[in-house]
Chains A and B, each alone.
Chain A
Amino acid sequence: MADQNAEFPTIIGPDASFKGEMSFEKGLRLHGKFEGRIHTPGRLHIAKEAKMQADVEAGAIVIEGDVRGNLNASDRIELKNNARYEGDLQAGKLVVDEGATLIGHVQVGPDAQKRSGPSPVSANRPVPAAAAPQNQPNQPK
């Protein structure tokens, strides 16, 4: 219990609901409702009974509950078996347990944070279309 509190010093309880923007350093465990934006270098854990509609930038995100919104994790996103997620996600690593629901656009990989183009086709090119210069000097003529 003490370990959990050290990892997640901030807890939003099951009977609490929060609307707005939140930032924290270490970790947040969400049991209630959250609507808005979250910005943290730490961990975010959305518990089974929690409901969240938010845009999140975090180090790591673990989802067990119901989440809508765009998620961006520098390290990893984990969807546990009861998770239901709708939205666009970007992460270095993705773990999806059997039984989890995921609907949305996914960008996963070491370069996922750098990529910005929403189209899968453009992101597959060696040089993303947005970053490519108009006339490339090293192209054979």
Chain B
Amino acid sequence: MTIVCLYCNKPQEVSRRAVQLTCKHCYKSLKVEDILIKQYEARRSIETCGMVVVEKRGHVVADRILCGGLIVRGKVKGAVTSRGSVLVGPEADLIGDVTAPALAVGAGAVLNGNYQIVPTQPE
């Protein structure tokens, strides 16, 4: 499968079973796995090329979240930069700045922050 480096934005082929690798362009360490959050977690940053999923009872407080996609069913507080869509479920909270190509918001969700939702241009 092809992933795009979170830092240099260059694509590369990786094994479907890969969990973590070093970018062959910028040599930064990249996580490829999805991150599932089911409880309260306070972290400096969450960085993965995969999806970040915050379950209904999950609560994330992070300085920054850099991810391939984000699904929020619980609460998130932090600056989000996502390469893929950000989905905010019903009754979920997303507090912080968001940069993403697409946004979907469920009924009753609470959003607060500076949003940059700009669709990626096809190359």
Contact = CB atoms under 8 A, between A and B. Distances in A.
Interface of A: 93-96, 98-112, 115, 120-121, 123-124
Given A104-B115, A105-B114, 19 more contacts: A93-B107, A96-B103, A96-B117, A98-B102, A99-B102, A101-B118, A102-B115, A102-B116, A103-B117, A106-B111, A106-B115, A107-B111, A108-B110, A109-B110, A109-B111, A110-B108, A120-B114, A121-B95, A124-B95
A108 B117 contact: no
Interface of B: 77, 85, 95-97, 102-105, 107-119
B103 A102 contact: yes
A105 B115 contact: yes
Nearest to B102: A98
The secondary-structure label for the interface of chain B is: strand
Contacts of B112: 106-109, 112, 115, 120, 123-124
A111 B117 contact: no
Contact of A99 (B105, B107, B111, B119): B119
